[in-house]
């Protein structure tokens, strides 16, 4: 279980700056979360302007 960034992502980078374990990186067309690193803190979801990160 981890957070996953949906296609709504506009690649603003705000979530990557907030992630305490640096699980988020810029991907092809959107940012992506490394599921093995994510600790499900929810900080990315709280920061995102378009609610792209969702708990899966």
Task: Please report, as ranges, the residues that interact with ligand SF4 according to CB under 6 A.
Answer: 3, 5, 9-15, 18-19, 21, 23-24, 31, 33, 38-44, 47-48, 50, 52-53
Choice between 15 and 28, CB closer to ligand SF4: 15
Query: Smallest distance, Å, CB 10 to ligand SF4?
Result: 4
**Cross-strand partners of 24:** 33
Q: With left for phi above 0 and alpha for psi between -120 and 50, is residue 14 left, alpha or beta?
A: alpha
- Asked whether the beta carbons of 3 and 55 are under 8 A apart, the reply is yes
Minimal distance, residue 14 CB to ligand SF4, in Å: 4
Q: Which three-class secondary structure state does DSSP give residue 12?
A: coil
């Amino acid at each position: 279980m981890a957070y996953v960034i949906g296609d709504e992502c506009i690649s603003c980078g705000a979530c990557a700056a907030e992630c305490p374990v640096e699980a988020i990186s810029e991907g092809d067309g959107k940012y992506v979360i490394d599921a093995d690193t994510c600790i499900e803190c929810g900080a990315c979801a709280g920061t995102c302007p378009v609610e792209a990160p969702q708990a899966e």
